[in-house]
Chains A and B, each alone.
Chain A
Amino acid sequence: MVTVNGARYERTVEPRLLLSDFLRNELGLTGTHVGCEHGVCGACTVLLDGEAVRSCLMFAVQADGHAVTTVEGLTDGGGGPLHPLQAAFHEAHGLQCGFCTPGILMTLVPFLRDHPHPDEREIREALSGNLCRCTGYQNIVAAVRLASDGIPTPDR
C-alpha cells in the first residue's frame, strides 16, 4: 500500500517494477518523465516522504508504507491552480519542451523549503542533478529567483 499525492493505492506488482514505471503505467501518472533510467538526468525525480529521489532507482515495492508526491500532486491531482513555483516557471519562461520540468520542480520544492532565499550559486548547485536540453538553465534560475524573492525576469 502506497500513498501517492494523498490517495492510497494497493497493488500487487513484480518486485522488479521500478517506481517510475509503476507511477506511469499502473497509476497513469505520466507527469513523472523517464529519460536515462540510471539516475543521471533527473527527469523522474519525485518526493518520497517529502525528500527528492530518483523514481527510476527504486523498486515500487520499496515505496510500500511510504508517501510519494509526483508533479501532479503540486496542483491537487492535476486540476488545481498552479503551484507558485509552476507559476514562476510559466512567468519566467523556465521551460521549453517541458521534458525536464516535472523532475526539476520536484527537485526544487524541497530545496526551496530548506533554502527559502537561495543565491544564484545555490540554485545552480541544486539544479546540478537535472539535465535540461532546451533552456540553457538561464530562465530556470530566473524562475527560481522569481518564486523565492519575487525578482522578475530582466528584460531581454
Chain B
Amino acid sequence: MKPARFDYFAPGTVDEALALLAEHGDQAKPLAGGQSLIPAMNFRLARPQVLVDLNQVAALSYIRANGSGLAIGAMTRQRAVERSDLVARAAPLLAEAMPSIAHPQIRNRGTVGGSLAHADPSAELPAVALALETRFRAKSATGERWIPAGEFFKGMLETALEPGELLVEIAIPPLPARSGTAFLEMARRHGDYALVGVAAVVTLEANGRCQAARVALLSVGDGPVLASEAATVLAGQAPSAELARAAGERAASRDVDPPSDIHASAAYRRRLVAVLTRRALERAFERAEKGSGEQGAVPSG
C-alpha cells in the first residue's frame, strides 16, 4: 500500500469534525477533495496519523447569494463552481478562472476550500480570492473568525489557519458599478499548473477614468502576489492600450521577483507578467466599459 497507516474518521457535521481536530492536534489533517493531499500521501511526503474526512459534511457544500455577493462553502467542488450560473453572474472572474484548474476529473473531486487551504503559489483560486478581496471564515472547537484575503496567504503552502482550525466558508463581496474583470494564464498544456497567471479587477469612475484596480498574480512568488505598483500606475488615468502596457511593465519590473525552475526562467516569467497583465487589463477595461454589471454575459477565453 502506498500511503502510510492512518486512523480515519468521517464526521457528518462541522462540530464533530472540529472536535476530532481538537482531540488529535497536529497529528490530524482534514481531507477535502484529496487531489493535493492524497498524491502527497501516495509518495509518503505527507504522513498524517489521523485523517478527518470532510466529504460527509454536507453542510459545507453550497453556493449562495450573499447580498449581491457570494458565499461558498469550503467543501463545494471546483466543478460545481465552474458550472454555477450564480457564480457566472456574481463573480465572473471566478467563473473565468475555474476551467484553468487542472482537469475535469480533478475538479470533480477538488474543493474550493482545499485549494485555498493548500495555498499553492501556482494555484488559480488564491490569486482570484486576493483580487476579489475575499474573506475567509475559519472555525475551531473554540470559536470562529474572519480573515481577509490579504492576511490569509502567508507564504509557500502556508496560510493563517491554525492547527485545529477549518476553513468553512469564503465570502466574495459584490463589485462596485462600472467594474470589469479578467483572468488569463499561460501554461505548457491545458490543465497544467500555470507558468504565470493574472486575475484583474478594475473599477471606472462615472467619467470613465480608472478609479481602482486590483491585479493579483500567480506562479511568481511564494503565494499570490498583489501588484500594487501596477495599481498606482492605473489610478485616476483614462483606460488605454498605452496605460495597460505601462501597468504591465510596472508589474513586471516592480511587483514581482519570479523564480526560475525547470518550467520557466525568471526572465521569461517576468515577460509573461508584463504581457498577461496588459492583456488582462485591456479585457477588464473593455468589460467595465460595456459594463453595468453584465459581465457574466461576456464570453471567456
Contacts and interface: CB of A to CB of B under 8 A. Distances in A.
Interface of A: 14-18, 21, 37-39, 42, 45, 48, 51-54, 56-59, 61-62, 107, 111, 124-126, 128-129
Contact of A111 (B42, B79, B104): B104
Contacts of B10: 61-62
B42 A38 contact: yes
Nearest to B43: A38
A129 B108 contact: no
A58 to B, nearest CB: 6
Nearest to B103: A129
Contacts of A17: 1
A127 to B, nearest CB: 9
Given A39-B39, A57-B35, A15 B7 contact: yes
B79 A62 contact: no
Contacts of B104: 52, 107, 111, 126, 129
Given A16-B3, A16-B4, A62-B53, A38 B39 contact: yes
The 10 A-B residue pairs whose C-beta atoms are closest, nearest first, are A129-B103, A15-B8, A38-B39, A128-B190, A16-B3, A128-B191, A52-B105, A57-B38, A51-B108, A37-B42
Contact of B189 (A37, A57, A111, A128): A128
B55 interface: yes
Q: How many B residues are at the interface, by size bracket?
A: 20 to 34
B2 interface: yes
B135 to A, nearest CB: 30
Given A17-B1, A42-B105, A128-B103, A57 B191 contact: no
A54 B191 CA distance: 15
Given A15-B51, A16-B6, A54 B1 contact: no
B190 A57 contact: no
Interface string B91-110: 00000000000111110110
B5 interface: yes
Interface in B158-209: 189-191
Given A42-B103, A54-B105, 11 more contacts: A14-B5, A15-B7, A16-B2, A16-B41, A52-B105, A53-B105, A57-B34, A58-B34, A61-B8, A62-B34, A125-B190
Dominant SS at the B interface? loop
Contacts of A21: 1
Interface string B38-64: 110111000000010101000000000
A107 B105 contact: yes
Contacts of A39: 35, 38-39, 102, 106
A143 B50 CA distance: 45
B106 A54 contact: yes
B35 A37 contact: no
A118 to B, nearest CB: 13
A15 B232 CA distance: 52
A140 to B, nearest CB: 15
A53 B42 contact: no
A111 B79 CA distance: 13
A82 to B, nearest CB: 23
Nearest to A48: B108
Nearest to A56: B42
Contacts of A48: 108-109
Contact of B108 (A38, A42, A52, A59): A52
Nearest to B77: A51
Contacts of B109: 48, 53-54, 57-58
B114 to A, nearest CB: 12
Contacts of A42: 103, 105
A23 B99 CA distance: 29
Contact of B102 (A59, A107, A126, A129): A129
B2 A18 contact: yes
A60 to B, nearest CB: 11
A71 B41 CA distance: 26
Nearest to A50: B108
Contacts of B53: 62
A25 to B, nearest CB: 10
